[in-house]
Structure 1
Amino acid sequence: MFSTIFKQELKYWFNRPVTYIFAAIFFFIAAFLSASSAGIFDSLTVTTGSSKIVNSPMAINDLFNAMAILLFFLFPSIIGVAVYRDYKSNMHSILYSYPFSKFNYLSAKFLSAFTIVLLIILVAGLGLFIGFRLPGTNQELVSSFNFAAYAHAYFVYIIPNVLLFGAIVFGVVTFTRNIAAGFITVVLLLFVQSIAESFLSNPDLRFWSALFDPFGSQAASYYTRYWTVAEQNELMLPLKGVIIYNRLLWLGVATLVMLGVYKVFSFSQNAFTLSFKKNKGERSTKQNFGGITRINLPKATYDYSFWNDVKTMWKLSNVDFKYIVKSWPFIAILLVGLFSLIIMANTAGEIFETKTLPTTWQMLLLPGGTFTFFINLLTFLYAGMLIRRGEITRVNHLVDVTPVKNGTLLLSKFIAILKMQIVLLFVIMVAGMAFQAYKGYYNFEIGHYLFELYALMFIHFAIWALMAMFIQTIVKNQYLGLFILLILLIGIPLLSLAGIEQAVFKYNQAPGYRYSDMNGYGAAFSKYFTYKTYWFVGE
């Protein structure tokens, strides 16, 4: 029975266009990265030569690991959906009546999705190979093809990492029956890994950092940290000592996770939920034993005016906004973001380990790339969830027959996302002021907080919200849409490698701004706001 389920799952994925879309995206990303490192854009960017070989075993491993991190965001929609799909289609009650064992069902579901993920990253490896040899690359930076370098990165690092993170996401989505919970898990895992790496960054703890790094990159760096350029160009990455211990440790963790999933899973179980409300069982007693009662219904009035559309749009946005702030993806990512703010606040303003006052402009630097990434991630995620909320709850046909214009529905969802962004920016202000008070600094400069958060930063996130609504509307798969948006968010700044350096050609980019107590924002504000207005109007 295992082979039957396994083959059927592979057939399902090979018949899905989204599989080939994911593979094509990773192929082109890999080709772009390898071709860029090999100097294909040197004529545009005036890049000088390098003494490093760009397809050395060490460089190949670094490129593979970089793409594998991006691949983790596919796990919920490929590995996580393996069992969830049976519940979504209401086929589980029929399938679970078939005479197959729990082991055959779970192992076939997981291994089939695991195989698809490995094939996608294998296509990425092909993209790396082709990118290094595209016409226009600097072949002085490219050595001969070394199959062992690709195989080493694939079997020593990629497969164990996919097995570990895939097993965790598989268990979370299987038990919660919620793909969004899988994305939260990926974000949490990456965040916890980065925090652990920062805590173990002390040179005296290098061995423990190498041992407990789930990606294995610190274990490889344990031996390659002091390699010369010649050694980096020629030597294969070692496979000994702490690297073997690291790989065995996390393979053991992945095995324990899968055994836990097997132990807890039941064909008759309900989805795991977390709720603070206790539902009390109450007996309902029928009271209407009398005759038929006549009810005079009020006469309905029809109002199709513009003002009524505005009121409807605002009320619908309130409904969607409450849906967002009460959902666990929002709460979980918000808590992770707050934790990151607290960690960064402890080191804010240090100049050569000398403490300075926690002024407002320093507090506004705290969001950095981490919290702003979380705001964008929530924007991308909920743009898809709100647009397909009717389909998710299976009331989309009822929504379609309501006398509400499509534009009103779409704008209400956009406004709900803007409200979410306003709340998240307010969290930054509250967290900054709370930390200032904790340090005994009470010159809060609330006007400065409001101006930078809501006049400068808010328009940046609003423009991304417009793009998210556009992508999630034209892409029918909300998780494919989320992945495309993440590619755009990460990839647009990398266009400088291809010679596209002007912000006017890169979506939602603008000259930076910096505040000083003497000059304020100076001339930077007008340039920044001009570019943001250009992108907002253009969108």
Structure 2
Amino acid sequence: MFGAIFSFELRQAFKRPMTYIFFGIYLLFSMFIALVATGVFETTQADSNVTLNSAYAVANLLVGFNGNILGMLNSIVLVAVMANAIQKDYQYNIHALFFTKPISKSQYFFGRFLAAFLTGVFVMSGMLIGYALGLIPGIGSKLVGPFELNNFLQPFFVFLLPNVFVLGVIFFSLTTFTRNTLAAYMTCIIMLIGRFVAENLGNNMDYAYGAGLLEPFGSNAYNYVTKYWMASEQNTLLLPMDGLLLYNRVLWVGVALVIMLLSFARFRFTQFLTPFSLFKRKEKAEVAVAYEERPLAELLNVKQDYSASFSWRQLFYLSKFEFKKIVQSTFFIICCALSLVMIGVIYYYSGSAYDTEMQPLTQTVIRSVNVYTLLANIFVIFYAGTVVFREKESRIDELVYATPVGNPILYFSKYLGLLGAILVMQLLAVLMGISLQLSQGFYQIDLGQYFVSVIIFGILNYVTTIGICLALQVVAPNKYLGFFFSMIPVMLLSVALNLLQWTDRIYHFDSDGPRMQFTELNGYGPLGPWFTYRVYWIAFVLLVSLVSLFFFARGKEINFKSRFRFSKMEVKPLTKIGIVVFALVFMATGAYIFYNTHILNHYISPKEFTAKQVNYEKHYKQYENCLMPRVIEANLDVAIYPETQGLHVKGFYWLKNKHNVSLDTLYINLMDKTSNFVYKNVSLNVPATTIKEDKDYGVLIYKLTTPLAAGDSVKMDFEFEYKPKGFSNDEISTLVVENGTFFNSSIMPSLGYNEQYELGSNAERKKHDLPRKESMRSINDTAAYANTYISNDADWIRFETKVSTSADQTAIAPGYLEKQWQENGRNYFHYKMDNPILNFYAFQSARYKVKRDKWNGVNLEIYYDKAHEYNVDNMLLAMKKALAYYSNNFSPYQFRQLRIIEFPAFASFAQSFANTIPFSENVGFTNKVDTANWNEIDMPFYITAHEVAHQWWAHQVIGANVQGATVMSETMSQYSALMVMEQRYGKDNMKKFLKHEMDGYLRSRTFEGKGEKPLMLVEQQSYIYYQKGSVIMYALRDYLGEDTLNAALKKYIAAVAFQEPPYTTSRQFVEYIRAATPDSLKYIITDFFETITVYENYVKSLKYDKLPDGRYKVNLTVGSVKFRVDSAGNNKKVAVNDYIDIGIFGTVKDKSKAAYNPLILQKIKMDGNEKTFEFIVNEQPEFAGLDPYNKLIDRTPDNNIAKFGTKPAIPSLSEKEVKYDLNKDED
């Protein structure tokens, strides 16, 4: 009988159109993803070294389908497949007949389950089949390698099969006991939220392993075990079926088996006859009803009322009924509880950079509060189907539809009921946010911000989400297809359009349009564009809602034609008028949006922008080597208008011919016509002819009547203004804002061909017949030594500016304040530098409070928002300590002042200009820091120290525009900041910081698209010059000694500070380090700077014995394998003959004072891959290892230490050879 049930169910499943519809959805969507990736749709492509058909890439596809959006699609499909298998007997009321047949419980239960499970596997396999088919057009290109079946089979068995089984068991079991698919959907929401929380926890290094174990779909575990895979490993290796990934798969398949067995054990055929309650079974009760006798004539005297007021009362009553029905449901209560838990977990555990905390400002808490929107969207999609099909599933549809209640009232009562439920969810989220603030002793709660950011913004978004979901459910023949239809506009459409790089917001359903990020410094900014888009989409949704009433299924009709024929008779004139009105509003606002984004402003698609870059290079590359005079002075009059977001600049440059030949051509770069900049004047003080004025590219070329002789100068006057017009398709410009304006010299005219405007992706360059382009010029290109890496048209310049702003604001620019005055209701400030600076400066304006101090005669100032005093004193301390350390160890500080100026959190960075450091409000000012805690990374202190270091490493020493230039600016600023941090917080604090740096480097290099470079040759690769640079320089200090290293740096600065061309290079820098390095350690210069060298340090075995005198003898066998890595990711073993730290550590008695208790910590010579050491220590050891502080770049840094009494994990020591070098052009 089992075989009969199984085969019957399987046949029935494959006869249902839904099975093939779901299969087709997965097949087409995954095929679409593959076609986009292979470039069939001619989207712009970034450089990549990873093939699209490796096991790693296929696994990424399946992991992506388990994400927050597509994971919901999986749940909808599997509920439809698995839950329907056990629900249908009860749904169609044939269970009594079916259960009288001579079948056993196991035959029925497992026959149904196995058939449904195999159906689910078939449906989901559409992902892999579609992806494989979509890759066919790419065969033969470097994006698609040779086809290997294992690359598809292994991810199938690791991810697809177990996940279908786990979800299938849960949905099947729940529906078995509840006879209600809503319980299955509720569980799928719980699992998706669990995955979302686990994903956020996985971003925190302390919780990553646990999150990988507990996340049910294997995504976190997969990301954990492959987080450091280079391109060669990604292209060639199968998934590692050991460690965390194996544990995760076994755990969750085991959990599913237990659930299945428990479900089977408790399953009874008779359970379908008993009402079910989530919390307990209820006995039937007889209810005595009191009847009131009334005359028949009175009962028949019914007064019919079809007035508008009665319709409104109907709408109010039914909306109230729907609202109560929703909010009193177990599903809603659990969703609300989950949202509150999710908000709390995300707030407490997601953290910011380096796992640090932020002050619980309202704007910060709202970022966590708004995670409820994920759950709310899922709730709306599911519950829209529930309320539309509730009457039919409860079998009271004929009764309800026989009542004199119009379709619009039935529809909009559900609409308003759902909207009310969402409002309740929002209010609970706000209360949770306030509770989080109060729980941390924070009482500056901004209720207005909660009201606007959560309630107003949120409810106007859900007006559209609810409307479109209800309308599509009304049109859909069943709620499962309705779920999928709803997902298309709410979630999938945006994904598809983004993949196609279709960026015009007018087509992105429910787009908010351009809107500034809220910041405490600047507030919300202009909300007009946002409101316009809201009206546009609300009108669209109300239009669709009214049109859907033509298909409202008031009877048993299913097909569209019958439903339309019957429903149109119910459509009243008022509904038709509403359709016309909302159609007109939709078209009018759409036209207004189009006028602003395409006519007043210029819309450029990614494809058009690529074409623009190509044309620029083809037209103007001829001027690349054309010699230009150099800017030697900039004198600017800048007027900032915060109230209108406008800007006016009038100024002049003095340009000097520093070459040995006369110059007759002047190539000037201006802002192009898409930028809202209007140029009133660009002129020279000598006769010249305009030979090219190209506003499309912002190019102006003059031919001098008399060539400019060597050593002569010319004055260039210019005047322009910035006036935003309406709003564009992009985000609202933050160039000038109401409070907190910050812009730099990049908006000023510049000279010479702009290489930065060229197309950077080599994949795209090849499509357009352009030669391969490196990110930076070669370190051997001596011609490039004529320029710094931040400017091609100037060396050191004289700088002076007058800046004006509104009467309540302070304007700041580099230089010393010469004069300050008021005129015509505006504040004016005159700044002037007394020494030349780089052609790199910025302007800021806001309402500031100022904190002042002094250090050795240097004026220290911090300009900040009055509400952001939290870390000002700490930042002042960092300024003092940094100035002291750098002045003592490098060279004297060159200015008489140093200022930090806060700007809004539109961006999260700080940037160092001459004696002036703009500083984002959310990377220092609003961090939560316990300065007494040695184990906490003090972000404001660290960032301040880093930016102050740039006053030496950039504003004294600046590298040539070649590979390695950022070593002398960013890497050295990292090193300098580390020394100041260590001086304040100790070495244990550095261990935590460097652990993050190591992890950041090892993760980021896996995404390298153009090939990793050694540190000395680093290009525009921040993970190398920041993260790797930190680790390398800290290790270098450890090997050479701080005094020795700093002495070498001091000599280097003395030789190259404030130099004129040719500028210094990283090769020169490294030679100064090499000269200070003893012969026995010269190998580290090669390893650290000139090559990509990684280690695999590990513990093979460890044990200890207690000696009679109370001491402990430790036997420790450690290993070290050294690899050289090329740009393609190939690893090649090289001989080990290195000095490496070995450490034995005891128990820390007071963890509030230290993280480690080193009993032995010394350098040993590893002249072989494995060595055994014996030590005597005074205390009982707890753990030991090789390179325990991770000073060396290590492929798997977690196995450098091991605990006594445990078996160490021995890593893979094989070389990883790449099969396809994607850095090479195809023949």
TM-score (norm 2): 0.41
User: What are the residue-to-residue correspondences of 1:483-522 with 2, within 5 Å?
Assistant: 483-494=484-495, 495-509=497-511, 510-522=513-525
Output the CA distance in 2 between the equivalents of 1:216 and 1:345: 24
Asked if residue 94 in structure 1 is aligned to residue 103 in structure 2, the reply is no
Q: Could you tell me how far 1:144 is from its partner in structure 2?
A: 2.2
Q: How does 1:169-318 map to 2 (within 5 A)?
A: 169-196=171-198, 210-221=212-223, 223-240=225-242, 242-269=244-271, 270=274, 272-275=276-279, 281=285, 284=288, 294-297=295-298, 299-318=301-320
Distance 1:353 1:219 in 2: 20
Q: Which moved more, 1:153-162 or 1:322-331?
A: 153-162
Give the CA deviation at 1:419.
1.0
Name the SS of the counterpart of 1:142 in structure 2: coil
The structure with the greater share of residues assigned to helix is 1
The alpha carbon displacement at 1:15 in A equals: 2.2
Mapped contact 1:348–1:358 kept (Cα < 8 A): no
| Pair 364,250 (structure 1): closer, same or farther in 2 beyond 3 Å | closer
| Equivalent residue, structure 1, for 2:338 | 336
Whichever residue aligns with residue 399 of structure 2, its letter is L
Residues 88-135 of structure 1: CA deviation (Å, up to 9, x unaligned): 111111111111111010111101110111111222211101111247
- Alignment of structure 1 residues 344-355 onto 2, 5 Å: 344-346=346-348, 355=357
Question: Root-mean-square deviation (CA), in Å?
Answer: 2.7
Go from structure 1 to structure 2 and tell me whether the alpha carbon gap of 1:129 and 1:280 turns closer, same or farther (over 3 Å shift). Answer: closer
Deviations 1:167-219 (A, max 9, x none): 11111111011101101111212323444565566657766655555333444
What is the match of residue 109 of structure 1?
A: 112
Residue 149 of structure 1: aligned partner: 151
- Which residue is 1:27 aligned to? 27
Letter in 2 for 1:89: Y
DSSP 3-state at the match of 2:229: coil
- Choose between structure 1 and 2: higher strand proportion: 2
Secondary structure class of the residue paired with 1:79: helix
Give unpaired runs (5+ residues) of structure 1.
none
Which residue is 1:530 aligned to? 532
For residues 454 and 92 of structure 2, the distance between their equivalents in structure 1, rounded to whole angstroms, comes to: 43
Alignment of structure 1 residues 443-462 onto 2, 5 Å? 443-462=444-463
1:143 aligned partner, one-letter code: G
Bigger mean CA offset, 414-423 vs 197-206 = 197-206
Q: Residues 34 and 132 of structure 1 are in contact (CA less than 8 Å); yes or no, is this contact kept in structure 2? A: yes
* CA distance in structure 1 between the partners assigned to 2:64 and 2:381 by the alignment: 22
Shift of 1:465: 1.0
Structure 2 SS opposite 1:297: helix
- The alignment partner of 2:368 has SS state of coil
Q: Cα gap change, 1:186/1:223 in structure 2, threshold over 3 Å: closer, same or farther?
A: same
Match of 1:5 in 2: 5
Rounded to whole Å, the distance in 1 between the matches of 2:253 and 2:352 is 40
TM superposition shift of 1:444: 2.8
Structure 2 partner of 1:395? 396
Which sits farther off after the overlay, 113-122 or 235-244?
Answer: 235-244
Point out the more displaced range, 457-466 or 271-280.
271-280
Whether 2:46 is the aligned partner of 1:48: answer: yes
Query: Given that residues 318 and 410 in structure 2 are in contact (C-alpha distance below 8 angstroms), is that contact kept between their aligned partners in structure 1?
Result: yes
Instruction: Supply the AA of the counterpart residue of 1:22.
Output: F
* Letter of the 1:186 counterpart: C
Instruction: Tell me which of 354, 364, 367 is aligned to 2:366.
Output: 364
C-alpha contact (below 8 Å) 1:160/1:251 kept by paired residues: yes
The Cα offsets for residues 311-351 of structure 1, whole Å up to 9 and x where unpaired, read as 11111111111110111111111111110111233358867
Displacement of 1:272: 3.8
Cα distance in 2 for residues equivalent to 1:255 and 1:62: 26
Equivalent-residue separation in structure 1 for 2:154 and 2:129 (angstroms): 15
Correspondence for 2:129: 126
Q: Deviations over 1:481-526 (max 9, x none)?
A: 1233234433233212202111111111122432122332112x21
Q: Equivalents in 2 of 1:351, 1:139: separation in Å?
A: 39
State how far apart, in whole Å, the 2-side matches of 1:287 and 1:451 are.
Answer: 52
Give the match for residue 384 of structure 2: 383
Structure 2 partner of 1:84? 87
Q: Residues 138 and 499 (structure 1 numbering): CA distance in 2 closer, same or farther, change over 3 Å? A: farther
Maintained 8 Å contact 2:197/2:345: no
C-alpha spacing 1:535/1:52, structure 2 compared with 1 (3 Å): same
Q: Which residue of 1 aligns with 2:1058?
A: none
Once the two structures are TM-superposed, the CA of residue 436 in structure 1 deviates from its matched residue by 2.3
Q: Which moved more, 1:194-203 or 1:310-319?
A: 194-203
Structure-2 change in CA distance of 1:121 and 1:354 (3 Å): closer
CA 1:210–1:535: 2 relative to 1, 3 Å: closer
Query: Which segment is superposed worse, 374-383 or 328-337?
Result: 374-383
User: In structure 2, do the counterparts of structure 1 residues 386 and 209 end up closer, same or farther at CA, with 3 Å as the change threshold?
Assistant: closer
- The residue that corresponds to 1:434 in the other structure is 435
Task: Name the counterpart of 1:423.
Answer: 424
CA distance in 1, matches of 2:9, 2:193: 32
Distance 2:181 2:172 in 1: 10
Letter aligned with residue 12 of structure 2: Y
Q: Is the 8 A contact 2:342 2:372 kept in 1?
A: yes
Q: Which has the higher contact order (CA 8 A, sep 6+)?
A: 1
Following superposition, the deviation at residue 244 of structure 1 comes to 4.1
Distance 1:454 1:204 in 2: 34
Task: Mark the structure with the bigger radius of gyration.
Answer: 2
Is the Cα–Cα contact under 8 Å of residues 177 and 271 in structure 1 kept in the other structure? Answer: no
Aligned to 2:85, what secondary structure does the other structure show? helix
Supply the AA of the counterpart residue of 1:454. I
Alpha-carbon separation, structure 1, partners of 2:14 and 2:417: 37
Q: Which moved more, 1:232-241 or 1:208-217?
A: 208-217
**Counterpart of 1:464?**
465
Distance 2:173 2:26 in 1: 25
SS in 2 for 1:237: coil
CA distance, structure 1, for counterparts of residue 520 and residue 289 of structure 2: 70
Q: Give me the whole-angstrom Cα distance separating, in 2, the residues matched to 1:528 and 1:287.
A: 58
SS of the equivalent of 2:165 reads helix
Counterpart CA distance in 1 for 2:244 and 2:310 is 67
Structure 1 pair 52/105, CA: closer, same or farther in 2 (3 Å)? same
Q: Which runs of 5+ in 2 are unaligned?
A: 542-1227
**8 Å Cα contact 2:211-2:220 kept in structure 1:** yes
**Secondary structure, aligned partner of 1:113:** helix
What corresponds to 2:36 in structure 1? Answer: 36
Paired AA for residue 10 in structure 2: L
Q: Does the Cα contact within 8 Å between 2:343 and 2:372 map onto a contact in 1?
A: yes
- Shift of the 88–63 alpha-carbon distance from structure 1 to 2, 3 Å rule, reads same
Matching of residue 473 in structure 1 with residue 471 in structure 2: no
Alpha-carbon distance in structure 1 between the residues aligned to 2:281 and 2:33:
50
CA contact (8 A) 2:204 2:349 kept: no
Task: Report if the CA contact (8 A) 2:385-2:482 is conserved.
Answer: yes
| Aligned amino acid, residue 262 of structure 2 | G
What secondary structure does 1:433 align onto? helix
Deviation of the 1:67 alpha carbon: 2.4
2:147 alignment partner, SS class: coil
Shift of 1:410: 0.9
Which residue in the other structure is 2:1169 paired with? Answer: none
Aligned to 1:66: 64
- Letter in structure 2 aligned against 1:71: N
Tell me if structure 1 keeps the 8 A contact 2:391–2:400.
yes
Paired positions, count: 531
* Aligned AA (2:368): L
The offset of 1:87, in angstroms, is 0.8
Q: State the SS of the aligned residue for 1:443.
A: coil
Shift of 1:34: 1.6
Report if aligned partners of 1:349, 1:358 keep a CA contact under 8 Å in 2.
no
Amino acid at match of 1:77: A
Q: Specify the SS of the correspondent of 2:413.
A: helix
Give the secondary structure class of the aligned counterpart of 1:441: coil
